Structure 1
Amino acid sequence: MTSPFASKLRTNYCPSDEEVAEIKALLVEPCLRLKGLDDKITALQKALDKLTQERDSLEAYVQAHTALISPSRRLPLDIIQEIFVACLPTHRNCVMDAREAPVLLGRLCSSWRAVSLSTPRLWASLHVVDVGRLAPVHDSSSRRLEERAALIPEVTRTWLGRSGQCPLSVSLYTFPFPSDPVAPTILETLIQVAPRWQHIQFTIPAAFLDTQFQLAAKDVPILKSIALHQYDPFQVPNLAWDRLEVLRGSNVTGVAISGCDLVLPRLPLRWTELTALSTLGSRDSPVSGERHISSQEAMELISKCPQLRTLSVLFEEHGLFAETEAHPIVHPLLQTFHCRGNVSTFTFLPGCLSLPELKEFTFLVHLPGSDAYMDDENGRPLVRFLAASSHLESLHIGISQFSSSFLQEILRSFPPTLQRLRINAMSKIMWGARLGSSLDDAILSVITPGLGDAAPCPCPALKELQIDRCTAISDSALLQFISARAATLKRIQVDFAREVELDIRPSLQPFIETGLDICITHVRPTRKVSAWEGLPHAERPLLD
């Protein structure tokens, strides 16, 4: 529509009195037409609403009848049960939570609940957490927590009752420093079904183990793996390890035990039958004890376990006690070796072991108070050990006490079979001075195709890289590494202990779209001081 005031529309023009009267007269006819259109739209909307209501009613009728002939309703019971079992977690035991199977399956409809309750395999694994009474009950959330804790023993009995005669996988975790724990009651319930134990893991105070865990080998006829992580936050009990006859079970091949007073030779184990052994504490328990052993003790241990496939131990050496190179011990079956120790451990132990089938290796230098570090000279046994591991696929290393030249040398020693690499990259700071090296751009270039001086580039089969607590690698160098490795790389995770320097997310998007799993995190920047500080009711704009 044309208007004599077209040039004045959408401006700050203020019309005169005569122009106001002219504008009012000009709007009479458009306003009448607008009302007429609104009336037509209202009538059409009523007709549309009526049709929509009729359509929804008809759709509900069709859907209700279609549901009756749904293929899922005609599935045989055994197929439904197999689907339900496939919903269970495969890497851990089931938990008492309605957000996941098996509890979730019984909350969708009555028929599914009946199926879940009549399928014992769904209830054959269970993880129980004993929170005790963490704090005085003085609010609603604390009361709910205490009420829930009080129900755990009964829920445990009900859960296990649904498992029929299935072999059980059970884990019990007692929260550190609980008051009024229910673990003793839960243990009583679990011990009643000990003949059906297949895999168990208990992280509990030592006193509970000593007084309530008195089982004989005949009481656990099908037990395959057992993990006992005992702790006492106030004292180190004298636990009679030699009385744990349950460790003698005829089928026990996997054992994980930790405790401050643990004495390995006293364990009543069937050493020649073990396939997995760990003396490291539970990662979920900050107060669990871990037993240190020397490299010589480890070699003796490996020698008397010919069937061992997995070994996880904590070493502690007191100086380089072996001046001459010992004859290496060959273990033809060990595939997974996780170890933590001081520098002396890794300057001696690798030269004494030959593991031709090693596939997964972890070596982390602990004891951060030591100022020793590994260099090209004392690290030669470790370099030779890695180079000789022709089947190695997964490696986890800590570099806090590596010299820069040794770190580059050890990267070049990785076998070409390596597919997964994890590096703890934070260097150690002591008295304001940096010890060892940090993983920086120059070192990353060693495993970046086209940049390192080694030909061919190390780790040609690398699929996964994880770097923890990274400080010295630049964002641009990381982007260059990902670009060079994109053809074979499947996953990369980098945890930066610094703020973002360069936003490389737009450059990474093409790699993500082709299937590369990328997880890169930075520490959040510190909050800037605002001019509105101290004014709680004032709105604070975001300041750059």
Structure 2
Amino acid sequence: MSSPFASHLGTNYCPQDEEDAQIKDLLIEPCLRLKRLDEEIAVLRKALDKLTEERDALSTYVEAHKSLLSPIRRLPRDIVEVIFLACLPMHRNCVMSAQEAPVLLGRICSSWRAISLSMPRLWSRLHVARPTVPYNTFTFSAYEAKVVQRLKVAAAWLRRSGTCPLSISLQSSHHYDTRTSWDTPRTDPFLNILIPFASRWQDVSVTIPSFAVQALLDLTEHDVPLLESLKIAEIDVDSSIEPRWLSPGSLLTVTGLSRFSLTGGDFRDHDSSSLPLSWGNLTSLTLMTRDAPNCQIILDILARCSRLRTCKVGLAEYEGEHLQDSVVECLSLRSMEVWCSFSPLNDSGRLLSRLSVPNLQDFRLDGAAAPSNSASLLSTLAACTHLQTIGFTVEMFWSHELVDFLRGLPPTLQCLRIAQQWHPSPISPLLDDNFFVTLETLAVLPTLEELIMINNQDLSDDALLHFIVSRMPTLRRVDMKFDREMQVDILPALDSFMESGAQVSLTYTTDFGYNVSPYLGLPDSPRLGPR
């Protein structure tokens, strides 16, 4: 519609007095037309609402009948059971939550609930988490009620598992309830719920306080005939309690045990090689005890583990420790992780110098940030012609050694994992732009497929992009966790790289633990991050 005021519409123009009357006259007919249109729309909307109501009722009728023909209702029960089992998490045990299977499956309909409750295998895996103890006494009654509820649910869950072998994980809090009287035996009520089902234990992982460990060790090999995997993480609440780890005939002696893990235990006057395990049957072993063994004890253990494929050990090697000249053959060993208390490169090199690991594929090293000579370790790893993955913290190396160490690794290496401490030492290597330029210039790790770095502070986004592009023919995964903010968004430049199937994950720190909000100190201060 044309208007004599078209040039002023949408502006801040203020009409003169004579123009006010002209505008009012101009709007008489349009306003009447607008009113008539609103009335017509109301009539049509009423008719539309009536049709919509009729349509919704008819649709409800049709859909209700169509649902009777739903394919899921016609599936044979055995197929439904297979689907239910496929709904369970694959990487861990099931949790007691209505947000996931199997509990969720029983909330869909009565038919599915009946099927789920009649499937023992659906309930044969369980993760039990003990609620954390409140810091104040006001909420302790609610905490106790939650504990009682969870105990009842756990017991009911396990009863539903019928006669199936069980996979169970129990997680107790480090903030454990210490109100139990000291003059009465202290027990873990959650462990007490699990023990009656010990005859069906197959895979068991428990994180429990030291006073509860003995209840586990009191079980005999006859009580756990199906046990294949046992993981014990001891929370040291009371160091005066000494579990009897070396008791003959305990569950540790069961011959079917092939995977064993112990974290936090203390053997006092003995060493971990005295554990009554069937060492020759073990395929996986983790020993991360508080009194870490020396090289010779670890070698004595490995000499008895002819079938071992994965190994993780804590190592405390003191100066002057005697080491036998004999070499221990670990022909089946594929993965090894060593945590060293004092000098990781030197001590792990000393250990591996007495090991024959021709099939080693994965080696991880962690521990104290104490640089030392890497020659002995490198000599062993260079001979591992199947080595594919290596991981370590950069603070183990002198600043001039890291590149030479990487150059000396076998050409089969495909995955590199490097972590940095939050506050790196000034004598540690810098994983900066120059480091990556050196890797490229010297063609270090030419077959690298995976690069994982944690807490990097010095590498720029542009240098990372250049390195990824230069390694595109072989590099397939990059996972970087930066201890800094983003400088440049390089992901758009890597679209074609990721479209080819490669994975790139870049994580940047956005919360540095300080607040520079201009509202700081005001009652209505918004929560702002660093600006």
Secondary structure, counterpart of 1:404 in structure 2: coil
Secondary structure, counterpart of 2:208 in structure 1: strand
For residues 276 and 409 of structure 1, do their structure 2 counterparts lie closer, same or farther at Cα, with a shift above 3 Å needed?
same
1: CA distance, partners of 2:484 / 2:401: 25
- 1:496-535 superposed matches below 5 A: 496-524=482-510, 529-535=516-522
Match of 2:355 among 344, 347, 353: 353
Are 1:394 and 2:397 matched, yes or no?
no
- 1:148-167 superposed matches below 5 A: 148-167=146-165
Are 1:438 and 2:410 matched, yes or no?
no
Query: Offset at 1:540?
Result: 9.9
Secondary structure, counterpart of 1:434 in structure 2: coil
Query: Offset at 1:466?
Result: 1.5
Query: Which deviates more from structure 2 when the two are superposed, residues 203-212 or residues 155-164?
Result: 203-212
1: CA distance, partners of 2:160 / 2:511: 51
Q: Which amino acid aligns with 1:534?
A: G
- 1:22-421 superposed matches below 5 A: 22-131=22-131, 133-138=133-138, 144-179=142-177, 184-211=188-215, 213-243=217-247, 245-262=250-267, 263-280=271-288, 289-319=289-319, 321=321, 326=325, 328-341=327-340, 342-343=343-344, 344-364=346-366, 366-368=367-369, 372-374=370-372, 378-421=373-416
Query: Offset at 1:525?
Result: 5.6
- Paired residues of 2:210 and 2:239 also in contact (CA < 8 A): no
- Paired residues of 1:425 and 1:439 also in contact (CA < 8 A): no
* Unpaired stretches in structure 1, ≥5 consecutive residues: 281-288
Q: Which amino acid aligns with 1:367?
A: A
Query: Offset at 1:334?
Result: 0.7
2: CA distance, partners of 1:157 / 1:250: 28
- Paired residues of 1:247 and 1:268 also in contact (CA < 8 A): yes
Secondary structure, counterpart of 1:193 in structure 2: helix
Secondary structure, counterpart of 2:401 in structure 1: helix
Q: Which amino acid aligns with 2:429?
A: S
* Unpaired stretches in structure 2, ≥5 consecutive residues: 181-185
Secondary structure, counterpart of 2:188 in structure 1: helix
Match of 2:441 among 439, 449, 452: 452
2: CA distance, partners of 1:75 / 1:248: 46
2: CA distance, partners of 1:300 / 1:540: 57
For residues 274 and 261 of structure 1, do their structure 2 counterparts lie closer, same or farther at Cα, with a shift above 3 Å needed?
same
Secondary structure, counterpart of 1:14 in structure 2: coil
Query: Offset at 1:522?
Result: 2.1
In the TM superposition, what whole-angstrom CA distance separates every residue of 1:328-366 from its partner, at most 9, and x where no partner exists?
4322111111111123313312322221111221111x2
- Paired residues of 2:394 and 2:428 also in contact (CA < 8 A): yes
Query: Offset at 1:542?
Result: 9.8
Query: Offset at 1:145?
Result: 3.9
2: CA distance, partners of 1:32 / 1:428: 76
Q: CA RMSD in A?
A: 2.7
- Paired residues of 2:303 and 2:328 also in contact (CA < 8 A): yes
2: CA distance, partners of 1:130 / 1:359: 37
For residues 74 and 428 of structure 1, do their structure 2 counterparts lie closer, same or farther at Cα, with a shift above 3 Å needed?
same
For residues 443 and 346 of structure 1, do their structure 2 counterparts lie closer, same or farther at Cα, with a shift above 3 Å needed?
farther
2: CA distance, partners of 1:22 / 1:63: 59
For residues 362 and 190 of structure 1, do their structure 2 counterparts lie closer, same or farther at Cα, with a shift above 3 Å needed?
same
In the TM superposition, what whole-angstrom CA distance separates every residue of 1:491-537 from its partner, at most 9, and x where no partner exists?
32211122333343443455445543332222226556455443334
Are 1:473 and 2:454 matched, yes or no?
no
In the TM superposition, what whole-angstrom CA distance separates every residue of 1:98-156 from its partner, at most 9, and x where no partner exists?
211111111122211111111101111111122363333425xx654432112222212
- Paired residues of 1:258 and 1:291 also in contact (CA < 8 A): no
Correspondence for 2:183 = none
Correspondence for 2:471 = 485
For residues 163 and 528 of structure 1, do their structure 2 counterparts lie closer, same or farther at Cα, with a shift above 3 Å needed?
closer
- Paired residues of 1:400 and 1:428 also in contact (CA < 8 A): no
In the TM superposition, what whole-angstrom CA distance separates every residue of 1:149-198 from its partner, at most 9, and x where no partner exists?
12222212101100000001112222113215896333233221111111
For residues 64 and 230 of structure 1, do their structure 2 counterparts lie closer, same or farther at Cα, with a shift above 3 Å needed?
same
TM-score, reference length from structure 1 = 0.87
Query: Which deviates more from structure 2 when the two are superposed, residues 188-197 or residues 13-22?
Result: 13-22
- Paired residues of 2:392 and 2:419 also in contact (CA < 8 A): yes
Correspondence for 1:536 = 523
Match of 1:422 among 417, 421, 424: 417
1: CA distance, partners of 2:188 / 2:421: 42
2: CA distance, partners of 1:321 / 1:227: 30
Secondary structure, counterpart of 1:169 in structure 2: strand
Secondary structure, counterpart of 1:518 in structure 2: strand
2: CA distance, partners of 1:136 / 1:481: 53
For residues 80 and 543 of structure 1, do their structure 2 counterparts lie closer, same or farther at Cα, with a shift above 3 Å needed?
closer
In the TM superposition, what whole-angstrom CA distance separates every residue of 1:298-339 from its partner, at most 9, and x where no partner exists?
22211111111111101111136579x945432211111111
TM-score, reference length from structure 2 = 0.89
In the TM superposition, what whole-angstrom CA distance separates every residue of 1:372-409 from its partner, at most 9, and x where no partner exists?
413xxx31222222222222233221221202332112
For residues 523 and 212 of structure 1, do their structure 2 counterparts lie closer, same or farther at Cα, with a shift above 3 Å needed?
closer
In the TM superposition, what whole-angstrom CA distance separates every residue of 1:395-442 from its partner, at most 9, and x where no partner exists?
22122120233211222233333333211133865xxx6232232222
- Paired residues of 2:431 and 2:459 also in contact (CA < 8 A): yes
